[in-house]
Copies of this chain bind each other. A is one copy, B any other.
Amino acid sequence: MTEFSIGIDCGGTHTVAIAYDQHADMLRKSVQGPANLAVDPTEAVKNIHAAILAITQSLNEKDCNKILIGIAGLSAFNEIEQLIAELDFPNLDIKIINDAQLALIARLKGQNGLVAIAGTGSVVTGIVDNRSVRVGGWGHLLGDEGSGYQISKLAFQQVTKETDLDEISNFSKAFLKEIGAKNITDLISIFYKLNKKEVANFTPFVLKEAKDGDKVAQSIVETATKGLADQINLAMNKTDWQKSTLNLAFSGSVVEKSSYYRQLLIKKINCEHQEINILPVESDFNNAIAVIYAK
């Protein structure tokens, strides 16, 4: 008769559902396929449903206090109502928020502050003095500064720019090899067949080249981290953070996995005005834990 709550972090590659007891210890975990409402709502419902079912089949559904789902591509309130109806668990208390809100609650453990998210996409979001703040997050074609998509796209553009100048750098030669292109025609043909996630997959290569000292790769990462830092600084200005120490957390594969990227980003954050508490990135952290801290 252990009471539990379920947090579900839905993303473009997979859905992670975790059941926690009242001490926030993990009881069960289920990993399913992707769930992004903007990409494929039917698949999203199917995978979230499977994740909940996997847990309630081994734990007693009656002991489930609440479920908090964070999902990408959520844009309107009526989508939430419809999604809850389609999940078809009438006896469960289900709350749905977007994936950035889930990261915000999880990373700040329910406290005030900002979260800078940089994975395939990017956004800066926060709650300070009960006011919500958001900067960026307009998607890969209009923004997503500092994201994996942007870093990879800048690498592709580096090759096109150098082609126009008839000067191909060592970085571009290595990048052509990395993506499996013999020349610029191949590169263009490859790029336009990739989806945004597949484009972003070349980011670890660019970050590694930069970390290893390649000046061209470093300039790409500079551009990306400057873009995201500008958004963090703007978000800071939008809050009343002068009153107290501001918590700043990070979420997303790019910023979590690369300490090189994180250090460059932190250097560009406007720290001189006020005390800022940059929360460390925890390993094996999942945003599903938000269910413990959510009000």
Interface residues of A (CB under 8 A from B): 38, 75-76, 135-136, 138-139, 141-143, 153, 156-157, 160, 164-166, 185, 188-189, 191-192, 231, 234, 238
Q: Is the CB of A157 within 8 A of B142?
A: yes
- Known pairs A142-B153, A142-B188. 17 more at Cβ < 8 A? A75-B185, A75-B188, A76-B185, A136-B164, A138-B157, A139-B191, A139-B192, A141-B141, A141-B153, A141-B192, A142-B156, A142-B157, A142-B191, A143-B157, A164-B231, A164-B234, A166-B238
Which residues from chain B contact A234 at a C-beta distance below 8 Å? 164-165
- Shortest Cβ distance from A163 into B: residue: B138
Q: Is the CB of A164 within 8 A of B135?
A: yes
- Shortest Cβ distance from A231 into B: residue: B164
The 8 closest A-B pairs by CB, nearest first: A138-B160, A135-B164, A142-B157, A142-B160, A142-B156, A75-B185, A143-B160, A164-B234
Which residues from chain B contact A189 at a C-beta distance below 8 Å? 75
| Distance (whole angstroms) from the CB of A66 to the closest CB of chain B | 27
Which residues from chain B contact A76 at a C-beta distance below 8 Å? 185
- Shortest Cβ distance from A235 into B: residue: B164
Which residues from chain B contact A142 at a C-beta distance below 8 Å? 153, 156-157, 160, 188, 191
- Alpha-carbon distance A142/B184, docked complex (angstroms): 12
Which residues from chain B contact A135 at a C-beta distance below 8 Å? 164
| Distance (whole angstroms) from the CB of A140 to the closest CB of chain B | 9
Which residues from chain B contact A136 at a C-beta distance below 8 Å? 164
| Distance (whole angstroms) from the CB of A96 to the closest CB of chain B | 17
Which residues from chain B contact A138 at a C-beta distance below 8 Å? 157, 160, 188
- Alpha-carbon distance A185/B137, docked complex (angstroms): 11
- Alpha-carbon distance A192/B138, docked complex (angstroms): 10
Q: Looking at A75, A141, A185, A231, which has the most chain B CB atoms within 10 Å of its CB?
A: A141
Which residues from chain B contact A185 at a C-beta distance below 8 Å? 75-76
- Alpha-carbon distance A38/B153, docked complex (angstroms): 20
